[in-house]
Chains A and B, each alone.
Chain A
Amino acid sequence: MSSAWWRRGVLAAGGFAFLAATVDPGVAQGPPPGFSPLDKTNVKASKQDESLRPHATPPTVTPVEKIPVDKLRLPPGFRAEIWSSGHPGGRTMVRGTKGTIFMGTRLIGRVYAIVDKDGKREVKTLLQGLTQPNGLAFKDGSLYVFAIHRVLRYDNIEDKLDNPGDPVDLTDKFGLPDTIHHNWKYVAFGPDGKLYVQVGANCNICEVNPGTHAQIRRYNPDGSGMEIVARGVRNTVGFDWHPVTKELWFTDNGRDWAGDAGPEDELNRIAKGREGANYGFPYCHAQGLPDPDIRVPNPCAGTVLPAALLGPHSAGLGIIFYTGNMFPPAYKNVAFIARRGSWNRSQKYGYDVVVARTSGGKATIEPFMTGLLDTKKNEFYGRPTYLLQMPDGALLVSDEQNGAIYRITYGPKTAGK
């Protein structure tokens, strides 16, 4: 080994005093407790394959030629193209008023800003080193970033994408639990101007304190006026408001290790005047199944049952109601739901985007974007996570596995996009 280069390094550094200065200041050191000690998972009793484990998300850039856009299948007249790529782990998407697409992530800890430059997308890493900054919302020029319990507001962010500066720290005002598991946030502003915030159950299956976990909350944008709008929600990872009824619809991921068949994930609605209703966790799942590991009398009494089931372990994440004019009228006001795909199931399931047609508090589910799952080989090629409607009516779909966004359009091919 030639050692000249490292000797040079040592000499240039002038000793060892720099060691203490190698960690960036300003970020909390060491995570808080993540997972509830009350978890009652019983893998043996599930009779499932005990070697099932979550799939890894690549933390590095997927080359454009390896992004599986050619595998995507859509109803006639729709087409998909790669809209942007090179943002590993990119999941949630919100659009700023000046057109910036902000993307949240989980383990890689980044927030991206994607801007249009000369008809192409330019990806900037806006923030780095956060703990699972999945929750993003945009209002009045400000980007709200939720990273587990931390809440940071970046004002006039679209004017300073290259140097976002210090945020307004709202963490103490929101007072969210610092438990990590199932608390990579989803947040969104409602039609009432309130900020709606997910607080998941920090376990697979456990008793939770209903005053702190397994909820959807809403706040004033400054973190005041907290109200619980839904209880018994294991882990909602996406919600949106029906464009006509203004009611909140949310996805909820079912528990693991209770069989390959489910309990299925849920699509739920908070009916008008029913804010604070109970959605069953941990006693009652899906269409009214008692939990096998935590047994109580009348487990489903008082529980609001789902509007639709989203499939076993399918991991329904982002949901948006489509209000654009590009797609055929049959898609007006229907919900699109991204299903990230299963891990706790021998035969893989999901990895697609489905349509939910809602009517009278119920919904029917039909396929929309498929092709990322090969059921014969039991292999997947991508994981749709979140959805965004663009001003022209096109639908953006994020693929976390490939760090890419697909643009879904309808009608004749549009040049340059």
Chain B
Amino acid sequence: MRGKTVVGDAREVARATELIELGMRLQMLESEMPLSRERLTKLYKELKGKSPPKGMLPFSTDWFVTWMPNIHASLFMGIYHHLIKVSALDDIDALIKSYKLYLEQCQALDSDVVMSITRAWRLVRFVDAKMLRVAPCTCCKGEYVVREFDLTRHYVCGLCNVPSRAGKKRPDAALKIAA
């Protein structure tokens, strides 16, 4: 049983701390961590200096197939798959590590962080639950997040075939498309 020993407990608290700092919502911590709700709430308040936000978690799979989120979701998923393939990691550790790499990548690309860790976690769960999956683009061979029942034999990703209005919602959107 995890979290039963003092050392194990300390490790869980350290993990939870890391997750809260990355912006994870309390509801997710509850389902991922063997710590009690009270302790998590207390930890959250200590770290953030305010009560955890209430309300529903994002629950839509559609968000992940819209243009910009899809790019970021696919990037994250690529990193995540790579990590779990090359090393034996706990689910939650793999999530933390790949999310950090994703943040780094966003910084390197000078792009907004489109996907919160909550979304990233939902994405992994959606893929586990076979609501989403990845499919290779027939053009660039990259793997992109698609819905489970999408037809993908001739799939072309949103980067090989950029939709005409893509990324034009906000002028300061980090991914700039040539006019």
- Chain A complexes with chain B: no
Interface positions of B (Cβ within 8 A of A): none
Q: Which A residues fall within an 8 A CB radius of B?
A: none
